Structure 1
């Protein structure tokens, strides 16, 4: 019995892939995926690998590695970050030419039935290919519509509408929330920092729970010698914990250099691995005690810092 099924030509992905080059591209992409601003998707695939997978599944096996890397958008001897470098018109035309040769159509349909974060359909759309994408999770579907379907459907006018309504929402929210964020002249309160609290079963002090007391340890804070953290101060007489604001330049390890010496916000923790510690009596508060208080009375809360913005520049505490 003869097999009447037509055999397709071999494709590039069945022969080889530039894995080392793509690994370098993934390093560039950390934190830079354009979908991140829409919705965090923990299994989102790197755009560079997704682009390579799409092209390698469509292009013929007999093209050279040099040609494949060119169609990806790589330039010999030059640092190119693929995730933010769309293909140019010449590269797109060449891909379409190859597709016509292999598949009998210049724009074959790329199907991703479980597209998740949308990296594969996004890269396929960048090359002007037909794309069908879906997912069981409705959040993924909405994210892909916002990232791909609507921009392609409505064009540049969509950006104007988005800018208009984002500004309206921001202005309206600022107006309605103004009474809850009273600010001094020249500053704007951005947010309040709170800690859940429990009652120490040994000394009955109110214990704020925090795995660290950092406020700002960013690279810019290090450069400005303006590392900021909170230092819990024991107050057993009033059965509570007070706070001091600590600012200074970076010391050894994770410490801040202050007038009183070095302070480590990672050491003065009051909870770690679900187990608490009272700063007043140093009693260990087991996780079952914390859970019990949370179930019976609910966890308390304590304000420990206020973040404000000075002008349009930086946060201060």
Structure 2
């Protein structure tokens, strides 16, 4: 048995469901969101990205009640929960999903709950990849698997390849139309 005391996570106490549901419905009702992974392939049981992002955050961040020395009163805990809820309400908005300052605020809260580190996330039945994709956005190392080969290809395309090849120059710059900008 571990010497560490169990720390309750935010999701075990409360989450701002209205804000999460509203963002998920907005995403689901707009099939033309620019840059959305859904444009890669329409997965039949795809999880809404705002929901995956919010739930992961709430699973990874300590609830204020886990830190009675920092938040000794019920009122102090409620106030801290409201602050954490405001982070969730910001990260579920699609227009904020690529804003570095918004995402960094969420990543910082996660790191605080893990002594300066970010945990790895493994989704053994990843399907369309919403959970590992959002775990990666929140700074974690993502691992995904699935029995369906289409799901595996989708996950490789969304999660593995961008990380693996983000710093690699194109093999032939003329083929991507940027040879003039690079003075080749």
Task: Please give the TM-score of this superposition, normalised by the length of structure 2.
Answer: 0.71
CA contact (8 A) 2:53 2:131 kept: yes
Which residue in 1 is equivalent to 2:17? 19
Quote the offset at 1:21 in angstroms.
Answer: 1.1
Is residue 103 from structure 1 mapped to residue 108 from structure 2 by the alignment?
no
Query: Are the counterparts in 2 of residues 9 and 102 from structure 1 also a CA contact under 8 Å?
Result: no
**Distance in structure 1 (CA, Å) of the matches to 2:8 and 2:2:** 18
Other structure's SS at 1:73 match: helix
| Cα distance in structure 1, aligned partners of 2:171 and 2:102 | 30
Q: Give secondary structure in 2 for the equivalent of 1:111.
A: strand
* Residues 16 and 89, structure 2, Cα contact 8 Å, conserved in 1: no
Is 1:82 matched with 2:99? no
Higher helix share: 2
Question: Which structure is higher in RCO with an 8 Å CA cutoff and minimum separation 6?
Answer: 2
Deviations 1:254-294 (A, max 9, x none): xxxxxxxxxxxxxxxxxxxxxxxxxxxxxxxxxxxxxxxxx
Q: 1:142 to 1:90 in 2, by over 3 A?
A: same
1:138 aligns to what? 149
Out of 78, 82, 97, the residue aligned to residue 65 of structure 1 is: 82
Give how far 1:136 is off.
1.3
Distance 1:71 1:20 in 2: 11
Q: Provide the C-alpha distance between the structure 2 equivalents of 1:87 and 1:147, rounded to a whole number of angstroms.
A: 15
The 8 Å contact of residues 71 and 91 in structure 1, kept in 2 or not, is answered as: no
Q: Which of 38, 45, 48 is the aligned partner of 1:46?
A: 48
CA contact (8 A) 1:114 1:134 kept: yes
Assess if the C-alpha contact under 8 Å between 1:71 and 1:87 holds in 2. Answer: no
Q: Which runs of 5+ in 2 are unaligned?
A: 65-79, 177-184
Q: Is the 8 A contact 1:87 1:127 kept in 2?
A: no
**Match for residue 10 of structure 1 among 8, 11, 15:** 8
CA contact (8 A) 1:39 1:143 kept: yes
Alignment of 1:180-219 (within 5 A): none
Cα distance, 1:112 vs. partner? 1.0
Aligned residues of 2:8 and 2:63 also touching (Cα < 8 A)? yes
Q: 2:132 aligns with which of 114, 117, 121?
A: 121
Whole-angstrom CA distance in 2 between matches of 1:124 and 1:23? 19
Asked which structure has the greater CA Rg, the reply is: 1
Q: CA RMSD in A?
A: 2.9
**Structure 1 pair 24–93 and aligned structure 2 pair: CA distance change class (3 A):** closer
Deviations 1:34-82 (A, max 9, x none): 22222221100000100011100001111423333325525xxxxxx72
Paired residues, number: 156
> How far apart, CA to CA, are the structure 1 residues paired with 2:53 and 2:170?
25
Provide the secondary structure at the position in 2 that maps to 1:51: helix
Stretches of structure 1 that go unaligned for 5 or more consecutive residues are 75-80, 166-317
